[in-house]
Structure 1
Amino acid sequence: MSSAMEEEGVSLEELKKRMAEFAKERDWDQFHSPRNLLLALVGEVGELSEIFQWRGEVERGLPDWKDEEKQHLGEELSDVLLYLVRLSDICGVDLGKAALRKMELNAIKYPVGICKGSSKKHTLFHADKSDANGDIAAVDQGHRQ
């Protein structure tokens, strides 16, 4: 096992490099078009979904799951992550920077003062209207994406 795998955390950059090496060693670059990678990613998300299918809600930490079930979950989560990292690399998108930017945009869409504790989608909050008390009103329907 390499030292990078033994570290506490692995960067997206490290995963990107390893995925590129993995594909190059196998002459798979020819197959790694954005479309093909996206379809592979969707397939892996389907496999991940199957793990949760028919279980209903599950508790955080999955305390009732067997070790083998958690290991399988980790493998499917990893497949999704690796295809996502590879897709972002092939498309020339810095996934880490894009994710941080998206979080900043979400912070604007969902300000703590009006969204805390709510699952409503940002389009259902009416920041420009106030109720009689001067509070920001929110529509009572829908869910956040």
Structure 2
Amino acid sequence: MNDQHATLHDLRERMASFVRERDWEQFHSPKNLSMSIAIEAAELMEHFQWLTTEQSEHLDPAALQEIGEELADIVLYSLSLANHLQIDLAETVLAKMAKNERKYPKEQVRGKAHKYTYYRKQEGEK
């Protein structure tokens, strides 16, 4: 199964089954899951810590494998947190994208990397 064939529902169900079969629900509080996401994100950052931007763009297959596993851990804990809190991820992601589109209008931000508050200040100066 790959990105073109797996649904978010499939992944959530697979993760829920994995957790349930191991009786890990007792450990999967929102606090613990959110901490686990942060820990895995730090482990992901570790792979890039001392690389230049250029080096980070040209990774060898072994590094990509390890990075992919850290990214998978982040997604897996995120799926567990969504399961626990009964958050519809697809709905939430799409709503967040719509919000980001409003905060970062493409005509105004294209090619720029400022935080959205920068653009609000610019509008206030007009």
In the superposition, the TM-score normalised over structure 1's length comes to 0.77
List structure 1 segments (4+ residues) > 2 angstroms apart after TM superposition. Answer: 5-9, 126-130
Deviates more, 1:111-120 or 1:25-34: 111-120
Q: Check if 1:56 corresponds to 2:52.
A: yes
* Correspondences of 1:20-31 after superposition (within 5 Å): 20-31=16-27
The answer to whether the aligner puts 1:83 opposite 2:77 as a matched pair is yes
- CA distance, structure 2, for counterparts of residue 99 and residue 114 of structure 1: 23
Correspondences of 1:1-145 after superposition (within 5 Å):
5=1, 8-58=4-54, 62=57, 64-125=58-119, 126-130=122-126
Residues 2-55 of structure 1: CA deviation (Å, up to 9, x unaligned): xxx257342221111011000111111111111111111111111111111101
Structure having the higher helix fraction is 2
The one-letter code matched in structure 2 to 1:51 is: H
What stretches of structure 1 of length at least 5 have no aligned partner? 131-145
**Structure showing the higher strand proportion among its residues:** 1
Whose radius of gyration is greater, 1 or 2? 1
Higher relative contact order (CA 8 A, sep 6+): 2
CA RMSD of aligned residues (A): 1.8
C-alpha distance in 2, partners of 1:26/1:71? Answer: 26
Please list every run of 5 or more consecutive structure 2 residues that lacks an aligned counterpart in the other structure.
none
TM-score normalised by length of structure 2: 0.88
